[in-house]
Amino acid sequence: MDDSCFFCQKLRRLAELPADEVVWEFPSSVAFLGPWQYFAGYCILVSRRHATELFQLSVQERREYLEEMNLLAHAIADCFTPRKMNYELLGNQVGHLHWHLFPRRDDDPDKLKPVWLALNRAERDAAEKTRLQAASLPRAEIAARLRAFLQKHLPR
Amino acid sequence: MDDSCFFCQKLRRLAELPADEVVWEFPSSVAFLGPWQYFAGYCILVSRRHATELFQLSVQERREYLEEMNLLAHAIADCFTPRKMNYELLGNQVGHLHWHLFPRRDDDPDKLKPVWLALNRAERDAAEKTRLQAASLPRAEIAARLRAFLQKHLPR
């Protein structure tokens, strides 16, 4: 844990967060429903351990974290049938391991491009921000569908 | 193998590619030195198996592919000491598993943003394209440094 780290702080106050934001608490990570629900099911998967690069984890820690990432991506894809999943671990602003898992819609006019071009426009354009944050389903329903898949498919 | 797939075709003609492009042939994937060498060490790691999503691989296949990805990222970070590694598996244009591994420079004016904003500019701006393709070292030297790390750290 790093007291000054945004994600370390967030992991410490899970109980205070809205119920539809914490999608799943895995052994090695926690899945949060992200803000850009134009991409229905978009999640951020935060490592419980504070580290900045995957190769700082032990083989076993990395395996667990990456299998949780894979299972969450599978859940998103199964629930919302995107044309493609996008898996991104960047950390340019917050250096604590977290995956952005974006399901890409077939009707997205920008479907051939990374999401960041649209998200960058949204920073300066309120209408674009509203469009990309709006979900076609309530956030609680999106979270509930993901949880149902995970409940069924998690290793016992 | 999928005859119409860009990466399947590329994997079949490795011997015809320039020596500095094929960085390493792993058991489950092949590492190519990417075009944007402003990010010195940038590689694309292509799965040998044709699949579009990580969850289509078996647990064992996925483990191997992701450990190769991790080792290559470690090699890039060790050789070129970026402020942060960016790991991205998108496939919006070519639906065959491939990781973009971008080492982010501390002197990059766009270091807090994903690389795709600059790469998108480069599509329309020849000077930006030249800037982002130019390497401070010869490509052969970049590939040689990565290979030296991998040779030393690969599991026997």
Chain B residues within an 8 Å CB radius of A108: none
**Shortest CB distance from B55 goes to which of A54, A74, A114?**
A74
HEC secondary structure over A137-149: CCHHHHHHHHHHH
Interface test with B, best of A58, A59, A64, A70 (most B CBs within 10 A): A70
Say which CATH class B6-153 falls into: alpha beta
Residue B8's alpha-carbon distances to B12, B59, B70, in angstroms, are: 6, 22, 22
Please tell me the pTM assigned to this model. Answer: 0.97
- Assess contact for B1 and B8: CB atoms under 8 A: yes
Q: Which residue has the tokens 């649209």?
A: A118
The ipTM estimated for the assembled molecules is 0.96
Do B14 and B48 meet the contact criterion of CB atoms below 8 Å apart?
no
Distance between CA A26 and CA B141 in Å, rounded? 42
CB-hemisphere CA count at 13 Å for B141?
Answer: 7
Token pair of B12 as six digits: 């079949």
The DSSP element (H or E) to which A19 belongs, if any, is none
Query: Residues B150, A70, A30, A44: is their CA dihedral positive or negative?
Result: positive
Locate B153 and state its tokens: 């750290």
Q: Is the per-residue pLDDT at B156 higher than 90?
A: no
Helices and strands, number each (H, E), in chain A: 5, 5
**Which residues in chain B (38-57) have CB-CB distances under 8 A to chain A?**
52-55
Whether B1 shows a pLDDT value over 90: the answer reads no
Mutate to test the interface with B, among A36, A45, A85, A90 (most CBs of B within 10 A): A90
> Which of A54, A59, A83, A107 best tests the B interface by mutation, with the highest count of B CBs <10 A?
A54
Contact A155, A70 (CB under 8 A): no
A6-151: CATH topology is HIT family, subunit A (3.30.428)
Chain A residue numbers with beta carbons less than 8 Å from the beta carbon of B104 are: 92
- In a structure prediction context, what are the per-residue pLDDT tens digits for chain A, which is 156 residues long? 778 999 999 999 999 999 999 999 999 999 999 999 999 999 999 999 999 999 999 999 999 999 999 999 999 999 999 999 999 999 999 999 999 999 999 999 999 999 999 999 999 999 999 999 999 999 999 999 999 999 999 876
Q: What pairs with residue A87 in β-bridges?
A: A101, B89
Closest partner residue to A66 among B53, B66, B93, by Cβ? B66
